[in-house]
Structure 1
């Protein structure tokens, strides 16, 4: 190769390198093959920067974007992961994420989002993980989430939701993990969960529910982990968990002021392994409480009445390796004694296996 050819190749190489360097936004740093990762974390941005078309991960957290504008990311067609946490976002415009047809991960946690315009999530057909917790969202209008047909995890904890209306999750039929902890929910209307019957994890703790939403919950089919802790629900009704009782392994009902379970509250529940019912006002458990596969049971700080009705509980406590704390509050002769040790239950007869089997019919 002559000198002029070599210089031409060198010039082309330098030009390519220069164009790549220019493609990385100012104050950001870019890495990965062909600048696929663009990191602009906490660099004082007030506008969405232009990034190379091949960018797959864009980290914009800890900047200042009060409004996510329409078409703000339109030219980022190959983006898979978008990070916008801690960015003072208050409003998401209609079409804000238009063009992001490959996006799988969207992180919007720890902002001030109170306004999400209809159409905000248009084009997000591949989105699988949406984290929008620690914001100020007060409602989920029907259709808002509909474009996200592949959504698998939705984290909506620590917002201002007051109720779930019918159709709230319309279109998100693949949703499996739904976190609604620490909102202000006082109502879950019939039909609110019809579109998400395949939920496996459903966390509703730290809300304002005063009654168990039987009609809405009966649409769920495969819940494995249900968390209702810190809701002021006094009673769990008959057949509360029946529609998903063959799958439920973890149930959290602690710190509720819970006073009773109806006799058939646990009808259909067969696989329960972990139950949390501490810090309530329970004095007894229903006859169909599912001890058979139970591994963990937290019971402390309840006013247990130590009569023969608790004999199945005593038997489970005697066989448990975890030895949870469970103290009698009554009768007075047993007050303060551990249920597993008290003489009040020593002479109780347990149902035979035959009679237990017959009681299921």
Structure 2
């Protein structure tokens, strides 16, 4: 449908004593303007903001193919066809939130050779790990920011990330992820920010972050994490911010020299002399150090680590500087078993996933 704006401007002119009226018609052709589909707005600006979406086809067929940003929010939409957005060669932002979507087909977001998609937000849906096919995210090779928060993911698969080589920000917060398989993010060499907060990750192994030398920010808060291998952060040579609050940590692993900010509060720290000395050296990097308090030993329970030094490190203390053989410590010392079992379970699930989807993938990395 095309609109024409007709402006009628009438002027009165006089010539040789005679009066006459001259009406000048000014027709301004505004060009073809496509109306928004139902429940969408701003379509003529390159942005389509749509709510209460029930049919993706009805929305997309009504949008200009030059649309650069598509925001879909709330509704009964429960599936995304493969290559659904292939006609939108200028698309650089795609947000699909608050839908009962639990599955994604291969090439769901492929847009062809001119793919300009850089931002993909699939938060607040019902996505499950077993419902996402191996190549679901293959296609948007220029993606720099990817958000999958508040879904029902309980496993991550390397095949999801294999082609996202330009990704800089990945947000997986508020899912059900129990374990990060070693090298799971190895292909994301350009990644700078990783958020896996508010999951169920209890343990981090040595090889978790291999290949991620450009990572700058890491958020592991709110996981109930009880142990991190001492060298888990070693590959992260440019890491500046580590967020570890609201976990179950008793000890702190090696921290990269590049780190400028540590958030450590709300953990049951076991204030051995060794840990207190380490925290003293890092105190300028610890955010709100007064909130980082000791859970044990009983002499300093509830006290900030800053005030625990004299008690746990004086010459009369029975503290050896290393963890005691309390039940909690016995758990910490043998958490490698948890990691080993987690690795086996994850690998087993990957095998089942691979066979089920019919793909031949190398899982013995």
Q: Distance in 2 between matches of 1:275 and 1:239?
A: 17
Q: In the TM superposition, what is the alpha-carbon distance from 1:289 to its structure 2 partner?
A: 1.9
Aligned to 1:314: 280
1:158 paired to 2:124: yes
Matched, 1:224 2:192: yes
The CA distance in 2 between the partners of 1:335 and 1:308, in whole Å, is: 14
Give TM-score, length-normalised by structure 1. Answer: 0.72
**Whole-Å separation in 2 of the counterparts to 1:214 and 1:97:** 43
Match of 2:168 in 1: 200
Rounded Cα–Cα distance in structure 2 between residues aligned with 1:319 and 1:248: 18
1:280 corresponds to 2:244: no
Quickly say closer, same or farther: Cα 1:143–1:156, change in 2 above 3 A: same
Matches within 5 A, 1:255-266: 255-266=222-233
Distance apart, 1:116 and its partner CA:
2.1
Shift of 1:177: 0.6
1:199–1:318 CA distance, 2 compared to 1 (3 A):
closer
Give yes or no for contact 2:184–2:208 (8 Å, CA) kept in 1: no
User: 3-state DSSP class of the match of 2:94?
Assistant: strand
> 1:133 touches 1:159 (CA, 8 Å); kept in 2?
yes
Equivalenced residues, count: 293
Q: Distance in 2 between matches of 1:62 and 1:324?
A: 50
Match of 2:301 in 1: 335
CA distance in 2, matches of 1:318, 1:346: 20
SS state of the match for residue 109, structure 1?
strand
Structure 2 match to 1:251: 218
Q: Deviations over 1:251-298 (max 9, x none)?
A: 111111101111221121122222221111100012x222x3333322
Label 1:7 to 1:196 Cα distance change in 2 as closer, same or farther (>3 A): farther
- Which ranges in structure 2 are unaligned for 5 or more consecutive residues? 1-12, 315-319, 322-365
Structure 2: distance between partners of 1:106 and 1:95: 10
Cα distance change, pair 321–213 in 1 and its aligned pair in 2 (3 A): closer
Partner Cα distance (1:96, 1:326) in 2: 51
* CA gap 1:7/1:96 in 2 versus in 1, 3 angstroms: farther
Matched, 1:323 2:289: yes
Kindly provide the CA deviation profile for residues 178-216 of structure 1, in whole angstroms up to 9, marking residues without a partner as x: 110100001222211011122111110100111114343
Stretches of structure 1 that go unaligned for 5 or more consecutive residues are: 21-33, 35-51, 64-75, 350-361
Distance 1:215 1:269 in 2: 13
Change (3 A) 1:172 1:313: same
The 10-residue stretch of structure 1 (265-274 or 90-99) with the greater mean CA deviation from structure 2? 90-99
RCO comparison, higher one (Cα < 8 Å, 6+): 2
**1:239 matched to which residue of 2?**
207
Distance 1:127 1:324, change over 3 A: farther
Aligned-residue Cα RMSD (Å) equals 3.0
Q: Secondary structure at the match of 1:116?
A: coil
Question: How many Å separate the matches in 2 of 1:236 and 1:220?
Answer: 18
Q: TM-score, normalised by structure 2?
A: 0.71
Q: Please state how far the C-alpha of 1:303 moved relative to its aligned partner.
A: 1.2
Q: Is the 8 A contact 2:144 2:168 kept in 1?
A: yes
Classify 1:54/1:98 alpha carbon distance in 2 versus 1 (closer, same or farther; 3 Å): closer
d(CA) in 2 for partners of 1:157, 1:58: 24
Q: 1:199 to 1:7 in 2, by over 3 A?
A: farther
Tell me the residue number matched to 1:186: 154
Cα distance change on mapping 1:318 and 1:101 into 2, 3 Å:
closer
> Distance between the aligned counterparts of 2:272 and 2:311, measured in 1?
7
- CA distance in 2 between partners of 1:99 and 1:329 (Å): 58
| Equivalent position SS for 2:280 | helix
